Each structure stands twice: as C-alpha cells, then as structure tokens.
C-alpha cells in the first residue's frame, strides 16, 4: 500500500484481496480496530498524541461521525456550529512498545525523524497481528503554514492494541436522544462496510430511514 502511494508504478503492487483476507484471519487480535479497517479513519483530524515509556495513544476526531453530525445539523436546520465539534476515538498501543516517525524520499525510502506534529490521518497498513505482537504503519498528513505540507509515516509495534470509542457520548451530549434512530442507522451502515463518510450519502441515510418508517 505504501509503495503504491509513494512511488510511480506502471501497475499497483498491493493486493487488496489478499490484505483483506489477512485482516479477516487476524480479527480476534485486531479487536475493535477491525471495525475501522480498511482506512475508515481517513481524513480524521488528530486531536492528541501521547507517548510514555510503554504506551502510545493517538486520539482522532472520527471523520465519518463528524460528517454524519453535520448532515443532521443541515437536514434539521439546527443552530449549531460544527466547526469545533469532536467525536473522539483513541488507538492505544501498550507493552513492549516501539514507535518511529519517518518521512519518505522520492525513491520511497524511509528517513527516520524526531517525533513531530501530526494533523490528519490518511490511512494505515497492518503489518503484523500475532498473539504477542501487533505492528501498524500509519500514514499522516502534516500541515505547514508557509510551505507545502508533507506526509509522515509512523510505525508502531506493541503487544497490545485497544480502541477507546467516545463518539456515542459526544453525539448524545450534542443532540440528546432526539436523533438516535438516525444515528443508530448510520452506525449499522458503517459497520456493514457501506461508505458513509460523505455528506450526500449521510443525507441519503436519513431519507432512507424516514421512507422505511413511513411505509
């Protein structure tokens, strides 16, 4: 996946079907992370990154939930400014931890750098997901004020990975229970692997549910 993105190739070398099978076979080890594969965190903003000797945690503003929330606001003409609303989800790596930050040169070679600011999640590739080890290569975007942004590769390996989901709490804090039927339908579609990270599709979800409940 990384090679296809960074190097000009005549044909893609990444086999999506084999990778999907690889992930299915390791679903138990991946746990909740499986729910967000492949690349369902794409475009999510990085809220926070924390690292200690044995824990590495990345907290994202879940983009799919954010887009759906924005559709609810527009659909029902709610007086809510969505610019500073967050739907946090955290990826927590722990035990026997290794973390490296890297840039990529024109030939696709990694160059290790010091830990740096991460702004936006682009995608991930799971390299290993065995009983005692999980290794993931993350691709982030780093924005700069006066010069073009750049892509940052973060390689993380650890014994364990857990996911902390706070999207439900954030959604109910914002809307209460009034729009639960729409939110639950959105989550069903997300879990079914339907692409829902688009405003027009989120409007379709809302209309679909309304039509199905008024028959």
Most confident among 13-22, 54-63, 77-86 (mean pLDDT): 54-63
Spell out where the chain has E strands: 45-51, 55-61, 88-94, 98-104, 110-113, 120-130, 133-142, 150-158, 160-165
Per-residue pLDDT tens for 81-107? 988 899 999 999 999 999 999 999 888
Length of the chain: 215
Residue 3 pLDDT exceeds 80: no
Query: Rounded to 5 degrees, what angle do the CA atoms 6, 98, 61 make?
Result: 65
**Spans of all domains in the chain:** 2-96+159-213
């Amino acid at each position: 996946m990384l090679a296809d993105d960074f190097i000009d190739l005549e044909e893609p070398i990444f086999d999506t079907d084999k990778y999907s099978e690889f992930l299915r076979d390791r679903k138990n080890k991946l746990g909740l992370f499986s729910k967000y594969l492949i690349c369902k965190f794409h475009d999510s903003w990085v809220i926070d990154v924390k690292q200690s000797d044995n824990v590495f945690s990345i907290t994202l503003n879940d983009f799919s939930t954010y887009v759906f929330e924005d559709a609810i606001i527009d659909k029902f003409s709610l007086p809510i400014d969505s610019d500073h609303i967050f739907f946090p989800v955290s990826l927590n790596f722990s035990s026997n931890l290794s973390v490296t930050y890297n840039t990529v040169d024109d030939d696709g070679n990694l160059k290790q750098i010091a830990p740096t600011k991460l702004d936006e999640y682009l995608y991930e590739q799971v390299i290993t997901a065995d009983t005692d080890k999980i290794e993931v290569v993350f691709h982030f975007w780093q924005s700069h004020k006066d010069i073009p942004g750049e892509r940052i590769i973060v390689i993380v390996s650890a014994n364990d990975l857990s996911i902390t989901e706070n999207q439900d709490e954030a959604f109910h804090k914002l809307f209460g229970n009034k729009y639960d039927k729409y939110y639950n339908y959105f989550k069903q579609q997300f879990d079914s692997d339907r692409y829902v990270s688009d405003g027009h599709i989120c409007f379709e979800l809302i209309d679909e549910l309304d039509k199905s409940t008024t028959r």
